[in-house]
Amino acid sequence: MKQNWQAVIGLEIHVQLNTKSKLFCGCESNYEKNKPTNTTVCPVCTGQPGALPVLNEDAVKLSVKAALSLNCKINHQSVFARKNYFYPDLPKGYQITQHDKPLAEFGYVEILTDEGQKKKINITRAHMEEDAGKSMHKNEHSLIDYNRSSMPLLEIVSEPDINSSVEAYNYLTVLKEMLIWTGISNCDMEKGELRVDVNVSLKEPKAKELGVKVEIKNLNSFRAVKDALVHEIKRQSDLLDRGEKIFQETRLWEDETGNTHAMRGKEEAKDYRYFPEPDLKPLVLEEHYINDVKKTLPEFAHQKQARFEKQYKLSDYDAKLLTINSNTADYFEEVMKCKVQSKNAANWIGSDILGKVNEHKISILDIPINPKNLAELIKFVEGGTISIKQAREVFEKMWQSSKPAKDIIEKHGFSQLSDEGQLETWAKEAIKGNPKAVEDIKRGNQKAVGALVGYVMKQSKGKANPGVVNKVFAKLLSKE
Ligand SMILES: [Zn+2]
């Protein structure tokens, strides 16, 4: 009989910090913007003799901001260390990172499990380090671009608290949203701004001791993380079922084949001969500095969502949709300043505005309808000046012309007929011409009123205000 194994997963994430310059020199950091190879480099980031590193303060600030967002404890003193190894993309022969004393520790984030339950994933540590250059292999040649050398990274290491591929995926999603929301990183995986390595082992569900862990690298998308985990969990459980052993090793994921293969045996920390970086002093962060950074933290999406539900009495669904990013949330709040009904604002933004934004692949910041103009349109519907159907046409014209709703309604003669006298005349005609429908209504079939309303709508060429029409019929039929 096959054993039911439990997967134990930990994630190591490298995010590239959104700074203007590199971690220890003044070189421009936006290497991904098609800068010619080896042009954003200097003696410091290419490891020339005598060049000394100077820590980038912005990188520190963003790292502290990220660590606080991850509910970490910030260490008042952290230490940079040299991680020694040879590779052509590492010109100094060592990487400056943090080892014994990282910037931050003991954090957590909340994610959803496979069953949709909330679960805490603990963060072991978050530390700063520099990136390496980039090797490119062409035919028998290897080329190196040092533009990426010494770019600022934050490494975020989770505890092995994750138990499924779905949880890993959800954890990454929460983290990515947070890092983008706070402006810490763009997290574009295609550009290598977010890189993920996973550790996975299996154990018997009740066992305290962890199994032998395997590291998987080369995961270029969240999809790949999920697929690689499903594949690796299956591979390990097949081995264990057959009574075979798992080797501690690093495996590479191949997107094309959906397979992993062994890359190398796992090296250990001692292999890197870590020692404190002699060219950089320990990083000392005072309490007041940490507090100042704390003040710059924005309201997070989940906090905003909870506030929207309460403050604007929105459903869970609407609040989630409106807090999909901070710009959409801001747009909604601007519309709400004009005192429209929140449900109406949520509907217009959730379907019409976001529909257009997705269709045209633009930011809500660049749309031709500003919040004030949308609010005005909503008010015309709420006040009964135009029907919802007409409002959709006005909306289209607003999108094309950027003009306010009022101008379009006047120019195109959009208006809703709410004149009770005229509507009553047509309603009486409808009653007279449809005795069967009137009979049905008297027998309690309220749906029959549709035929009568239809007549009035036809006479008014669709401009009759449905609310007023229903009111008129209710009055007339009660007298019948
Ligand atoms: Zn440089």
Q: How far does the centroid of ligand 1 lie from the alpha carbon of residue 277, in Å?
A: 18
Q: Tens digits of per-residue pLDDT, 17-58?
A: 999 999 999 999 876 567 899 999 999 999 999 999 999 999
Question: What is the fold of 420-479?
Answer: Arc Repressor Mutant, subunit A (1.10.10)
Distance 41 CA to ligand 1 centre (A): 4
**Positive/negative CA dihedral, 340, 346, 347, 348:** positive
449 within 8 A of 469, measured Cβ to Cβ: no
Q: How many A from CA of 149 to the centre of ligand 1?
A: 8
The rounded Å distance from CA 425 to ligand 1 centre is 82
Give exposure, 369-384, as e/b (b: 16+ Cβ within 10 Å).
Answer: bebebbbbbbbbbeee
What's the 134 CA to ligand 1 centre distance in angstroms?
15
- CA 133–ligand 1 middle distance (angstroms): 12
Query: How far, in Å, from the CA of 344 to the mean position of ligand 1?
Result: 53
**In this structure, what token pair is assigned to residue 309?**
């539900």
Which residues of the chain fall short of a pLDDT of 50? 1
| E-assigned strand segments in 333-455 | none
Q: How far is CA 369 from CA 209, 345, 366, 395, 415, in A?
A: 59, 13, 9, 9, 21
Q: What is the pLDDT of residue 73?
A: 97
Q: Give the Å distance between the CA of 83 and the centre of ligand 1.
A: 19
Q: How far is the CA of 194 from the centre of ligand 1 (A)?
A: 21
- Burial class of residue 12 in the structure, from the number of CB atoms within 10 Å of its CB (0-12 exposed, 13-18 middle, 19+ buried): middle
Strand partners, 156: 13, 126
In the reported structure, the alpha carbon of residue 183 is separated from the centroid of ligand 1 by a whole-number distance in angstroms of: 23
CA of 192 to the centre of ligand 1 (A): 19
CA angle 118, 119, 123 (to 5 degrees): 140
CA distance 12 to 259: 20
Other CB atoms within 10 Å distance of the CB of residue 52? 10
Q: Ligand 1: distance of its center to the CA of 27 in Å?
A: 4
Residue-level pLDDT at 1: 45
CB distance 26 to 43 below 8 Å: no
Joined tokens for residue 108: 């957590």
User: What is the spatial distance between Cα 271 and Cα 83, in angstroms, rounded to a whole number?
Assistant: 9
Distance 173 CA to ligand 1 centre (A): 32
CA of 59 to the centre of ligand 1 (A): 15
Return the pLDDT at 137.
87
* pLDDT score, position 179: 93
Q: How many CB atoms lie within 10 A of CB 75?
A: 21
Compute φ and ψ for 353, nearest 5 degrees: -65, -55
* Rounded (10°) CA dihedral 308, 311, 314, 315: 70
- Residue 233: left if φ>0, alpha if ψ -120 to 50, beta else—which one? alpha
Q: What is the DSSP letter of 131?
A: P
Q: Tell me, what's the pLDDT at 480?
A: 66
Instruction: Please give the distance, rounded to the nearest whole angstrom, from the Cα atom of residue 22 to the centre of ligand 1.
Output: 7
Residue 28 Cα to ligand 1 midpoint, Å, equals 8
43 CA to centre of ligand 1 in angstroms: 6
- pLDDT at residue 385, as a whole number: 84
Could you say which DSSP state residue 183 is in?
T
Cα 272 to averaged position of ligand 1 atoms, centre (Å):
24
Maximum C-alpha span of the chain:
101
The answer to pTM > 0.85 is: no
Task: Parse the chain into domains and list their residue ranges.
Answer: 6-293, 299-412, 420-479
Ligand 1 centroid–CA 105 distance in Å is 29
Distance in Å, CA 144 to ligand 1 centroid: 15
pLDDT at res. 3: 66
* Alpha carbon of 39 to ligand 1 centroid (Å): 10
Tell me the three state secondary structure of residue 421. Answer: helix
